[in-house]
Amino acid sequence: MLRFAPSPTGDMHIGNLRVAIFNYIVARQIGEKLLIRIEDTDKERNIEGKDKEILKILDIFGIKYDQVVYQSANLHIHQEMAKKLLDSKKAFVCFCSEDDISIEREKAKLEKRPYRYSGKCEYLTQKEAEKKIKEKKPFVIRIKKPEKPIKFNDIIKGEKIFEPFDIDSFVILRADLTPTYNFACSIDDMIYDITLVIRGEDHLSNTPKQIHIRKSLGYDKEIKYAHLPIILNEEGKKMSKRDKASSVKWLLEEGFLPEAIANYLILLGNSFEREVFTLEEAIEFFDITKISRAPAKFDIEKLKFLNKEHMKNINNLAKRFNVNFIYEELLQIFKNESSTLKEIKEKFDKVFEKSEDEEFKNEREILKKEILANELEENYDEFKKRIQKNTGLKGKKLFMPLRELLINEKHGAEIKDLYKVMRTYLKEIIKIR
């Protein structure tokens, strides 16, 4: 089983969506199930409703899954496992207060060495520990650091080795008896029989800790790992919440199609024979072992290009925008000139607004009178000949105000094309100007 394990703590980031997409593709390729695990154990950071939003985004992108679980539902198992580690002396009760720890952290910082737990509580006798618990001294549970280095072979990053010193004796259960991220994640990967973990490389240093937890519990089934390179913004820095385009919700609101976003995220940092494809098509040729190890740079222009390509496959724009079908052909013209659905809609909405342009105000009035006074020819060239003759306008002074009468823009689509699709309702539109 594979899993996608989002935390319901904010808007879905494109990096997370990329993780979801790759998990989906690989699960389909190897014929395994996909579990969605909402990692909701950090109550303070959870945001109400984000879990539903994540599931909705997965649906929008056509990422199908077999099961959804909430990590908090397994709390009793996490606690039981912590107890098991205590009983087998693989973990110990630690009474060091948060203040004690921050003093040690500060000291390490001053001495320019990495902070590591002092080991103070590891050798308390059973009696001493029980006495403190009776005195109601708050405690956490720490797992003892491993004796030997932890090695694993990452599918993307290659062989990784972490020393016991760097893994350290870390906290697995907090004072309120809730599990830390590493503990809950590691136990859940074990109980759902996860075979391959695909996630962002920001989790790379968590992996030896998670392996160590399972080893300490005697679980020796291997879980494979693939850590995906991070996505950089256009300045080459890690794409953060401050980059609007990092939010999947924002991209959708801007009118990027899910098909194009998925295409882009699969393509990002890779080179395939073809650039434009659907998620289902990618299942045929995508190879996770060949993914580039270097960080990938986000390029909105490339995404716009792909969006335009995928927009070609939308036939019924009027239905999509919920507008009268008589405007379908006009929407198709705007489609050819736009990179996103939002751009199409903005162009379309502008057609129904009053023109604010002062430059060609007089010319517009002259043309308006002429157009409203006579029947409209079917043939554009005949129409053009007549209004040219009757108004005396020509060149820029004819075409710019005429385009404004049509679509409220000086520049844009060919007037000939616009005239052809707008002729039947042209007089109504012109009256708005």
Binding site for ligand GLU (CB under 6 A): 5-7, 39, 185, 199, 203
In the block, residue with structure tokens 């699709």? 421
Q: Beta partners for 156?
A: none
Taking the complex as a whole, how short is the minimal distance between the CB of residue 230 and ligand GLU, in angstroms?
12
- The residue among 6 and 229 lying less far from ligand GLU, judged by its C-beta, is 6
- The residue among 206 and 390 lying less far from ligand GLU, judged by its C-beta, is 206
- The residue among 226 and 371 lying less far from ligand GLU, judged by its C-beta, is 226
- The residue among 23 and 391 lying less far from ligand GLU, judged by its C-beta, is 23
Contact 345, 255 (CB under 8 A): yes
Taking the complex as a whole, how short is the minimal distance between the CB of residue 7 and ligand GLU, in angstroms?
4
Taking the complex as a whole, how short is the minimal distance between the CB of residue 241 and ligand GLU, in angstroms?
13
Taking the complex as a whole, how short is the minimal distance between the CB of residue 404 and ligand GLU, in angstroms?
50
- The residue among 171 and 318 lying less far from ligand GLU, judged by its C-beta, is 171
Taking the complex as a whole, how short is the minimal distance between the CB of residue 185 and ligand GLU, in angstroms?
5
Contact 17, 24 (CB under 8 A): no
Task: Give the separation between CA 109 and CA 408, rounded to whole angstroms.
Answer: 63
Quickly count: other Cβ atoms within 10 Å of residue 250's Cβ: 14
Q: Which helix (H) or strand (E) holds 224?
A: strand 224-228
Taking the complex as a whole, how short is the minimal distance between the CB of residue 199 and ligand GLU, in angstroms?
4
Q: What is the CA radius of gyration of the chain?
A: 31
**To 10 degrees, what angle do helices 415-422 and 396-407 make?**
40
Task: Give the separation between CA 358 and CA 132, rounded to whole angstroms.
Answer: 82
Task: Give the separation between CA 16 and CA 53, rounded to whole angstroms.
Answer: 13
Task: Give the Å distances, CA to CA, from 328 to 296, 337, 386, 394, 422.
Answer: 38, 15, 28, 30, 10
Task: Give the separation between CA 33 and CA 27, rounded to whole angstroms.
Answer: 6
- The residue among 189 and 404 lying less far from ligand GLU, judged by its C-beta, is 189
- The residue among 7 and 307 lying less far from ligand GLU, judged by its C-beta, is 7
Helix, strand, coil distribution of the chain in percent, nearest 5? 50, 10, 35
- The residue among 46 and 339 lying less far from ligand GLU, judged by its C-beta, is 46
Taking the complex as a whole, how short is the minimal distance between the CB of residue 64 and ligand GLU, in angstroms?
19
Contact 187, 78 (CB under 8 A): yes
Taking the complex as a whole, how short is the minimal distance between the CB of residue 270 and ligand GLU, in angstroms?
21
Quickly count: other Cβ atoms within 10 Å of residue 264's Cβ: 24
- The residue among 39 and 259 lying less far from ligand GLU, judged by its C-beta, is 39
Taking the complex as a whole, how short is the minimal distance between the CB of residue 304 and ligand GLU, in angstroms?
28
Task: Give the separation between CA 433 and CA 423, rounded to whole angstroms.
Answer: 16
Contact 94, 227 (CB under 8 A): no
Strand 224-228 versus strand 196-200 pairing type: parallel
What is the three-class DSSP state of 34? Answer: strand
